[in-house]
Amino acid sequence: MIVTILELRAHILRFLQKFQLIVEPVIKFVIAFVVFRSINNAIGAHELLMSLPAELLLSLLGTFVPPVILTLMAAGISLVHVYVASPLLAILVAILMVILYCFIARFSGKYGYVVLAVPVLFLLKIPYVVPLILGLIATPMTIIPVACGVIIYRMFVVISNAALVENTTAIEDILALYIDVIDQLVADKQMLITIAVFFVMILAMSLIRKLSIEYVFEISIAVGAIVCILSFLVADVMLDVGLNITEMVFGTVGSMLIAMVFQFFRLALDYTAVERVQFEDDDYYYYVKAVPKINLAVPERNVKKISANTEAGFREVTAEPEEENAYEPELSEEERYAMGEELEEGDSEEF
């Protein structure tokens, strides 16, 4: 069973490497489509942008641009929807987006998708996937794009509610509306607790995966999931955040399974063949623990066609059936000598 799973993993990785030029744009297209569809479902107000042809066209454009451009495209689409719903709130959203972009600009190249992934996964009820995966591959500093993603999600939740009651043009009322939205964001305990819990998850996993123990990555994923559940439970009891505990627990378990699958395809280690080496140089004495990676070689099945060139042209050579291969007994030296003399006499007569 394990060998079959490893062979399947090898086939999938080989397929992805072989058809990378095709698979990578397809994955980017799917990501862009999910992002734009999620935005339209959450805050959709512009009928043209909510149409399927518009979503497909935007997704196609997002396939061939860097993550930072895709992030800006998503921000622009969101801003258009907010403007249709409330032009006054659109100004506030634009200002907040510019401020957030200044914080994530340094992470936009490598972790630009994180800012998009957090709000989208919140809508799918599995935002815990992001800190679990970042705890495996990144440093605790990635909490900055994660926090920006959480703020963006909570910002649109607050603004969507404010747009329903916004119906004023007086300057005093506009200022009061802006102040109310900002106060709700600052006092949003659920947003602050989510950012804190995600930071603790990434930090704990980053520390554990540096330990020299077996199955360290799987253990770090389990610890991250446990930290997530316990932290939210304690925060809900002490601060009365109003979390949906059942949704949070099932979402964390599902996110843990997704992180396990990600780790399996990212790096599979064979802990049954661990080697420990000790050596020294002029300055240090080294203790090295080497864990081999599991890389199964998938053999290729090549069908070869044997052929031979003759004076008459190209002739295929095929194997004779086994039934036609008659058994030829060995001849003695006298019989071979007699046959040779008969052949020589026949040749001389013919000549």
- Residue 159's pLDDT is 79
Whether residue 265 has pLDDT greater than 80 = yes
Backbone phi, psi, residue 270, to 5°: -105, 100
- Residue 20's pLDDT is 86
Least confident of 48-62, 82-96, 276-290: 82-96
Residues whose CB falls within 8 Å of the CB of residue 63, separated by 6 or more in sequence, listed in order: 25, 28, 29, 32
Q: Does 336 reside within a domain? A: no
User: How many structural domains are present in the chain?
Assistant: 1
Q: What is the pTM of this model?
A: 0.76
285-290/307-310 β-pairing: unpaired
> Which of 130, 200, 191 is closest to 157 using CA atoms?
191
Q: What is the mean pLDDT of residues 211-220?
A: 90
CA of 191: how far to CAs of 105, 156, 162, 188, 302, in Å? 21, 12, 17, 5, 57
Q: Does 205 reside within a domain? A: yes
Q: Does 304 reside within a domain? A: no
Write the DSSP string, 28-57. HHHHHHHHHHHHHHHH---TTTTSHHHHHH
Q: Whole-number mean pLDDT of the chain?
A: 80
Whether residue 311 has pLDDT greater than 50 = no
∠ Cα 279 285 287 (to 5°): 65
- Residue 29's pLDDT is 94
* Confidence band of 254 (pLDDT split at 50, 70, 90): very high
Q: Does 106 reside within a domain? A: yes
- Residue 165's pLDDT is 52
313-316/275-280 β-pairing: unpaired
Structural domain including 256 reads: 2-273
Whether residue 121 has pLDDT greater than 50 = yes
For residues 314 and 273, which has the higher predicted lDDT (pLDDT)? 273
Q: Does 61 reside within a domain? A: yes
pLDDT tens track for 145-191 = 899 889 888 888 887 766 655 555 566 666 777 777 787 888 888 89
In whole angstroms, what is the distance from residue 60 CA to residue 286 CA?
Answer: 52
In whole angstroms, what is the distance from residue 130 CA to residue 148 CA?
Answer: 13
Q: What is the mean pLDDT of residues 25-35?
A: 91
Q: Does 17 reside within a domain? A: yes
Q: Does 335 reside within a domain? A: no
- Residue 331's pLDDT is 52
Q: Which residues pair with 276 in a beta bridge?
A: 289
**What tokens appear for 252 in the block?**
């964390």
Whether residue 253 has pLDDT greater than 90 = yes
Least confident of 66-70, 137-141, 221-225, 310-314: 310-314
Q: Does 285 reside within a domain? A: no
- Residue 12's pLDDT is 86
In whole angstroms, what is the distance from residue 107 CA to residue 263 CA?
Answer: 22
pLDDT tens track for 285-306 = 988 888 888 877 666 665 556 6
pLDDT-above-70 percentage for the chain: 78
End-to-end CA gap in the chain: 73
